[in-house]
Structures are given as structure tokens and as C-alpha cells.
Structure 1
Amino acid sequence: MYAFLRVNGVAVEPHHPPIRPEPPWTRRRVVTAAATALGGLAATPALTACGGDESGRSVAGGGGSRRELTFACAAFTGGAAGMQSFADRYNATQTRYRVTVRNLPPPSSSTECHQQLTQLLAREDGTVDVFAQDVVWIAELAAAGWVHPLDSDVSAALRRSFFPGLVEACTYRDRLVALPWYVDAGGLYYRTDLMRALGRKPPTDWYELADLAAEMEHRRVPMGYLWQAKQAEILLCDLVEFIASNRGHIIDPSGAVRVDSPACVEAVQFMRDLVYRYKVSPSEVFSWDEEPSRRPFTAGRVGMMRHWSYVYGVSQNPDQSKVVGKVDVAPLPSFPGGTSSSCLGGYQLGVAAGSRNKEGAMDFLHWLAGTEAQLAFALDFGNAPSRASVYGEKKLAEGQPAMVKLKEAFGNGVPRPVTPHYSRVSLALQSAVSRALVHGDVRATLRSARRDLEAIV
């Protein structure tokens, strides 16, 4: 649901002033950012020895005082002692700063996490320096004026090291307002044993998928293809993938609402047809989100399934899966003339506009987005790196093979509509698309949805 701030106990929508201009560069900021972008996870002795007159909290340690930074982050599980143990890797690399993690609710409690983060950022009192945000919150937080723009702090070369779809999702009104951290995206899971038995390969076309799913269902398994269409955020994720793979847009780059375009109508009609025309997906998908759709697949009752990256690990766990060693993942199909498209998920990094120590915040931000830190985060926490080069690391292939298999899906990632009103856009689309899938009359329903979205954005 759409999150509101509370002022004197009264719920109010956050204001949306323009993004604030960034402060002028100092010579030391230039040197620090350049050294970090060129490959240093650990600061060089010359840099760590630098003094400074910047404002910020200080803490004793390391032979002198270190300025204290606060990192507000969802409570990810993993590592020896959670996110603080991960931040301590940074603390051990230099003597200028020390990071303390402020744990927010876990990603599974997204609404509560969003509410707490917006309340912290709205104070603008230096409580938070660096923060992690769900990819769909980026435009809202930027429009509220709560983030420090990163254009001058992030080189073009560094931007190119990330998956393009993530950089797009981190951009608002042509300004880079977040830095990619980790990524998730939808992929096509399939039974390798069934593919071999039928002499088929993973489908690259949606209509080919419907044909193959029918063949699997007829000869081998009760259900040919599963996906998620519960009236919830997951429905928007699946919707984005179908529409983008047909070269369509819900909201196009100019900001115009296009949800009732021919490409979108065809995509939503195909979603409905998977259940009622091709009969390869059960009607239960209209009430299923991630886990209800995953369980039949790992129980061995499904031929193919659209899902997130975590499912590969579950499918190879004998305590949770009856198809161990019989599962692989491929990019999602597309419509004729389109390209495979995967909805982007994950949390991305930002610097708070209210930080009293933006130089230190940028140093930590670059470290978090660096190659070694991303590899360690992937191995300890199971979150996929946003830098393409990390997928060539031998340690990643050994410790998280599913991530390597999904690299192409991450590269095909597309963001959900980028708008500061995303929460309301999502709710309106969930209602309209759910109605179209269950009751039909897709064209008229999407035409009505366009009018609703235009009133919002």
C-alpha cells in the first residue's frame, strides 16, 4: 500500500520538491572517488592518512578519531552477524570512517521498511548517511528531495559496469539518484529431464512456450506452466515482463501512459489465454504469489515456471525439492519481434540529502558497489551482484551457481514504471489487470486503467 508520513500523529503524503543540487567538489572528494572507482575496495594509505575539516560525528579508534557513518538497511539475513558484520569489512579497510548499521524491517515486510526509511530521511538531521532502498522507491525518494544526486560522484565508466536496466531504474529526471547494489529478476525455470524426453529446448517465444507446456501437460506432468497473478505487487512484476517482451510500455519514457496500446492488450490477453485458451496454467495462478507457485514445481508436478533467482537454490535442496538435479533456468520468452525481458527487483544504494558527511558516505557507497564487496555480499547473503564482471569470478560460480546461470536474465532486466507515484500506480494496475484476467474484456479494462493512471501521474 502507499506509505504516508506522520506529522503530529496525522498521516500526510510526502512533499515532492525538486532534487537538491549537490555541493561543490573539493579536491579531496575528486581524488577519493577516482581512486575508489578505479579498483580500490581498501583506501590507499595516502588517502586514509588525509585529515579533513568536514562536519560529521567522530568515534575514537584506529590510532585517532574516525567519523561515524550510519547505514540504514533492511535486515537481510546471512553472514556471521547480519549486515553489521558485512559493514565491519569496510571498517577494517581504513582509518577515516566507521560505519554502524541501522537495521530496518526485512524485505519481506516491505511496507514497514519503506515507512521507517522515509521517516528517517525526512528528518534531514544527519541520522542517516547511506541507505538501501527497494528499486521501486527510488523515484519517490528523489522527488521528495531526500537524496543526494550522484551524477558527479559516479563516472561514466563505473555506470557502464552495472547492468543497464538497473542504471535506468536508478535514474530520475535524467539524474543518477541511486547506485546499483544487488539485482533480482525473473527467469524461466524448467525440468531438464522433461526437455530431454521430449527432444525440446527452452522456448524463446511465448506461443512456443504455450505449445511446449501443453505437450508436457499431456504427456508428463499435471501442470505445464506456472506464474504469479495474485492481486499484489508480484502481478505487476509478471505484467512488466509480458508487456516489455512485446515492445510495450505501461508508462513510456516521455511519461505518457500507454497501458492500453495494442502491444499491452496483446500481452495481457495472452496472460489470460494461458489459463482459458491454451489451458496450460491453472486458474489458481490468479491467487498465487511466489511461494504457492513455487511449491508445485519443486514437488515435481510442473514442467516450466516463471520465478525469481532464489528458487534455483531451493530446487537443489533435497529437504525442499523432489527435482534435485533436474532443474535449469533460462531467459524468459518474448513475443515475435520482441526481446526477452525480466522485471528488475533488488535494493539499491543512496546517500541521504541530510547527511552531515557526504564525503564519507560516498566512500562507503563506492565500497559497497565495488567488485570485491559485491562478491562477498553474494556469497554471504545470496543477493546477486549488479556488476556484470562479478559473474566471471570463480568463487561465485562455485558458491552461487544459479546467479551465473541467471546473468542473461539480469542483463535483460527492465524496471517497473519509474514514477514518484509508483505505489498508487501499482495499486491501480493490480486491480485493473486482475479484473481483466479473471473476467475478460481486456481492451476496455486497460482503456479504463489508462484514464486512472493519467489521473495519478
Structure 2
Amino acid sequence: MEPHHPPIRPEPSWTRRRVAATAATALGGLAAAPALTACGGDEPGRSVGGGGGRRRELTFACAAFTGGAAGMQSFADRYNATQTRYRVTVRNLPPPSSSTECHQQLTQLLARKDGTVDVFAQDVVWIAELAEAGWAHPLDGDVSAALRRSFFPGVVEACTYRGRLVALPWYVDAGGLYYRTDLMRALGRKPPTDWHELADLAAEMQHRRVPMGYLWQAKQAEILLCDLVEFIASNRGHIIDPSGAVRVDGAACVEAVQFMRDLVYRYKVSPSEVFSWDEEPSRRPFTAGRVGMMRHWSYVYGVSQNPDQSKVVGKVDVAPLPRFPGGTSSSCLGGYQLGVAAGSRNKEGAMDFLHWLAGTEAQLAFALDFGNAPSRVSVYDEKKLAEGQPAMVKLKEAFGNGVPRPVTPHYSRVSLALQSAVSRALVYGDVRGTLRSARRDLEAIV
């Protein structure tokens, strides 16, 4: 249930061909792997090849990040070229923009437990559901503590269910605070680190420079949950705490949701249209030069620097989102993570491929070629990433502040219930009473 937005794209001077060439270089100039031929009548876990030796076949079920299987198959072929024991074939699922269809097809495949799938990519909010159903093979014994520490902590937390690691981080997304650098300089100000400071600065920008001070997203959809998590977590609150208790009507949550509403009705720095806006409707006024600051996903930086789409080229930067007093900056995590199917008949091979996908070289290549931000912290120190995807490097701190949405096997129902309740609270008020009712609803679900 990943909010739909494009991945970060290379700077305009980088063509797809050049990025692909850089990605290939990042993988050590590997020779192209031979083309794969389908053998649909063979059994799962079969061996393929001949002459120089037979390889065991692995199947990777993955969303179509580039609109078809060819792109991901080409990427998997880089792994195929690194060794001679296994050959990976990509099983194409619908793209992330068709999240419901992708989820349906993946769960149908995993539920069969017949070896049809060995490795799979999953939206971060599906992890608990698939683990609870027994469709994801636990990874604790195959992933060292040192490897876990190499990823952003919030992503590892999202990959953990009931104390067990059930997924391996792959790529991430997170919200950041976009702001107009020219307006900051003109006002002699710096990016705000506190939410109330943001409200004051947005009011000053709105009074002196732009029609709208601050934009965010509160449409009754998944994006509302993402913004909600950021406000609540930055106030040291939880929707569902680590013990599984529902805390959505706690003082920290009430204060956070009240502030969300106050941005529109008290401080008047956000228009009421935010209650019906998701990603793109909120992005357009900002890149049109009519907004001082905005909460948004990582892809917006690239759009803001594209003269065909933006009137503020060279006038935008991004910083971590603010916090409440005593809290910490928090960004809602998005992205797809990796799993090994419980029904795989070749778990050793599956883990080998999983480790390759999560490795430094593969994550760098995936970032350059597909525009998806690495989950491995050290990749952000790579010069090639700074050259090909500067926005990712700017957002490293935001990724490090990432927090997951509620980790529950019933996430879809939890999300829908919260969308309805929080939307009512924002539009009609009675925040405390609405969240108290939401707590009872969530307790009946989880």
C-alpha cells in the first residue's frame, strides 16, 4: 500500500543510457549475462543450463518498477553473471502504482508454498501480514548483527515482526521538508527544526512573499497515514506501541492531530485544500513558486530541478522534518523490502541472491538505474551516487529518521479506519473524541 509517486530520477543531464552504463560500471564491468528462456513445464527448484554445468533455478517475484519484467530481469542477470550455481528469473508483478493488484498476486503465489517463488519484494506495510500468515521464511539465522547495523535502523525495525527478522532492507523512501532557499535568505532564516517554529516562519513567508506558507497531504487515503505517522512520532507518540497496545488517543497523538488541524484553521498557513490533496496536487503549487515550504517524498527534488516542470530551479533544498518539543524529527518510511518465500525449495540459493541484492554494489546500481534510494547507509558515501542521484544524498538524514507505519498483520484495515477517523477530526474538530472512538475501532481490529 505504498503511496504512488515516481522514483527519484537522475538529473536532466543524465540520460537513461548513461545511467545504465554507470550502473554497469558500479558492478565491476560485469559481462552481460546470457538471455534466459522460459521452461514453463519444469518443476520449481529445477536445474537449468548445460555444457559448463547445470544451475539451480530461482524465481524472484517483484513489482514491475520500470513497467515490465525486462528491466528487472536485466538487473537480475547481473547476479547471474557473478556466479555459476544459480540462475534467477524474474516473475513480473504489477507495478507499485497498482499496489492492490500487486499484493493480491504476491499473496496468491506465496500461499501455494509449492516452490513457485523463492525470493520476493514486498511493500513495507505488507511485511507483518506475510510473516503472520507463515509465508515469509525467518532470516535471523542468515543475517548477521553486523549486516543489520549496515542498514538504516528504521528499515530494520520495519522488517522485524514479533522480534524476528522476516525481511531484508532493499530500498527506502521517506518524507522531507522542502523549502525555498531564496525566501530563507531574504528573510534571514534557516529551515525550522520545531513544528511551532515552522508555523511562525510559514506565516511570515505567506505574509511577505508567497500565497501559501506550508503544504502537506491530508486526503483520505494512504498518504494521510504517512503524514500522521510523522507528526505523531515527532511528538514521541505511537498509534500502536511496540507491545501491540493501541495508543492513538494518547496525549501525544491528540496534540499532534490538533496541530495538523491548527495549521489550517488557527495558524492559517495551509489551505483547506490539503484535506483533499495527495502527492501531486500538493507538489504542483510548490514547483510553480507559490509555496514557501512543503512536506513531500524524495522524488520531488528531481522535479523541482527540472525546468520543464518547475519555476523554482536552483531555489529548492530539503531538510529533515521538524519535531515537537522533546521529540525527534521523524519521516514515514516507504519502499519495498526483500523476503524469502517459506515454500522455496532452494533457500540456500535464495539467501545468496538476497544478500547480493542487499549488497553495496547492487544497491548502488539499483539506485542509479531505477532511481530508488538505498537502505544501506554506506552507499550514500559513494561518489557515483552523489553524481547520479544528488537528491538521495541530501535526503540521507531523512532516511535515517525513518519510522514505520503501524506494524500489524491487519494493516489494511487499520489504515482504512485511521484514514476515516483522522479525516473527520481534521475537518470537523473534536480531535480527542474522534481519536478515542478510533482507539476502540483499532482495538477491535488488532
Indicate whether the TM-score tops 0.5.
yes
Pair 1:201–1:61, CA change in 2 (3 A): farther
Please report how far the alpha carbon of residue 16 of structure 1 lies from its aligned counterpart in structure 2 after TM superposition: 31
Instruction: Give CA-to-partner distance per residue, 1:412-431, whole Å, 9 cap, x none.
Output: 00000000000000000000
Say if 2:24 and 2:365, in contact at 8 Å, map to a contact too: no
SS in 2 for 1:183: strand
- Which shows bigger deviation, 30-39 or 205-214? 30-39
Q: 1:157 to 1:192 in 2, by over 3 A?
A: same
Q: 1: distance between equivalents of 2:33 and 2:141?
A: 22
Question: Residues 83 and 317 of structure 1: is their aligned pair in 2 closer, same or farther, counting only changes over 3 Å?
Answer: same
CA contact (8 A) 1:213 1:224 kept: yes
Does the aligned pair in 1 maintain the 2:12–2:306 contact within 8 Å?
Answer: no
1:148 aligns with 2:137: yes
Query: Deviation per CA, 1:280-330, whole angstroms, max 9, x where unpaired?
Result: 000000000001101111111110000000000111111111111100000
Instruction: Name whichever of 100-109 and 60-69 sits farther off.
Output: 60-69
Q: Distance in 1 between matches of 2:378 and 2:140?
A: 22
Instruction: Name the CA shift for 1:211/1:189 in 2 (closer, same or farther; >3 Å).
Output: same
Deviation of 1:366 after TM superposition, in Å, equals 0.2
Aligned to 1:400: 389
Tell me which residue corresponds to 2:97.
108
- With the length of structure 1 as denominator, give the TM-score of the two structures: 0.88
Identity of aligned residues (%): 95
CA contact (8 A) 2:119 2:341 kept: yes
C-alpha separation between the residues in 2 aligned to 1:183 and 1:272? 28
Note the C-alpha offset of 1:82.
Answer: 1.1
CA spacing shift, 1:19–1:420, aligned 2, 3 Å = farther
Counterparts in 2 of 1:121 and 1:232: CA distance versus 1, 3 Å = same
- Distance in 1 of aligned mates of 2:300 and 2:118: 34
- Preserved CA contact (<8 Å) 2:7 2:370: no
* 8 Å Cα contact 2:44-2:114 kept in structure 1: no
The structure-2 alpha-carbon separation of the partners of 1:14 and 1:352, relative to structure 1 and needing over 3 Å to count, comes to: farther
Contact 1:19–1:147 (CA under 8 A) maintained in structure 2: no
Contact 1:15 1:144 in 2 (8 A): no
The farther-off stretch of 59-68 and 379-388 is 59-68
Post-superposition offset of 1:406: 0.4
In 2, the alpha carbon distance for the partners of 1:355 and 1:18 equals: 30
The 3 A distance-change label for structure 1 pair 164 and 41 is farther
Deviation at 1:56, TM superposition (A): 2.2
Conserved in 2, the CA contact under 8 Å of 1:273 and 1:279?
A: yes
Residues 20 and 354 of structure 1, relative CA distance in 2, 3 Å threshold: farther
Bigger CA drift: 42-51 or 318-327? 42-51
SS at match of 2:273: helix
Secondary structure of residue in 2 paired with 1:85: helix
User: Which residue in the other structure is 1:36 paired with?
Assistant: 25
Kept in 1: contact 2:59–2:119 (CA 8 A): yes
Aligned length: 446
Equivalent residue, structure 1, for 2:177: 188
* Aligned position for 2:438: 449
2:328 counterpart of 1:329: no
Structure 2 vs 1, CA of residues 34 and 377 (structure 1 numbering), >3 Å: closer, same or farther? closer
Separation (CA, whole Å) in 2 of partners of 1:25 and 1:395? 12
2:27–2:362 contact (8 Å) kept in structure 1: no
Once the two structures are superposed, residues 193-217 of structure 1 have per-residue CA deviations (whole angstroms, 9 ceiling, x without a partner) of 0000000000000000000000101
1:151–1:175 CA contact under 8 A, matched in 2: yes
Say whether the 8 Å CA contact 1:41–1:372 is kept in structure 2: no
Q: Is the 8 A contact 1:42 1:94 kept in 2?
A: no
Mark the runs of 5 or more structure 1 residues left unpaired by the alignment. Answer: 1-11
Give the alignment of 1:4-23 within 5 angstroms. none
TM-score (norm 2): 0.90
* Kept in 1: contact 2:177–2:318 (CA 8 A): yes
Contact 1:20 1:149 in 2 (8 A): no
Partners of 1:131 and 1:160 lie apart in 2 by: 22
Q: Flag the 1:310–1:35 CA change in 2: closer, same or farther, 3 A.
A: closer
TM-aligned CA distance change 1:306 to 1:62, over 3 Å? farther
Q: Distance in 1 between matches of 2:162 and 2:385?
A: 35
Deviation track 1:371-407 (CA, whole Å, cap 9, x = no partner) reads 0000000000000000000000000000000000000
Instruction: Tell me the C-alpha RMSD between the 2 structures.
Output: 8.7
- For residues 117 and 160 of structure 1, do their structure 2 counterparts lie closer, same or farther at Cα, with a shift above 3 Å needed? same
Task: Say if 1:172 and 1:17 are closer, same or farther in 2 by CA, change over 3 A.
Answer: farther
Report if aligned partners of 2:36, 2:89 keep a CA contact under 8 Å in 1. Answer: no
Contact 2:171-2:337 within 8 A present in 1 as well: yes
CA contact (8 A) 1:340 1:412 kept: yes
Contact 1:20 1:148 in 2 (8 A): no
Cα distance change on mapping 1:148 and 1:48 into 2, 3 Å: farther
CA contact (8 A) 2:7 2:372 kept: no
Structure 2 contact 230–331 (Cα < 8 Å) conserved = yes
Measured at CA, do residues 195 and 343 of structure 1 come closer, stay the same or move farther in structure 2, by a change above 3 Å? Answer: same
| CA displacement at 1:64 relative to structure 2 | 1.1
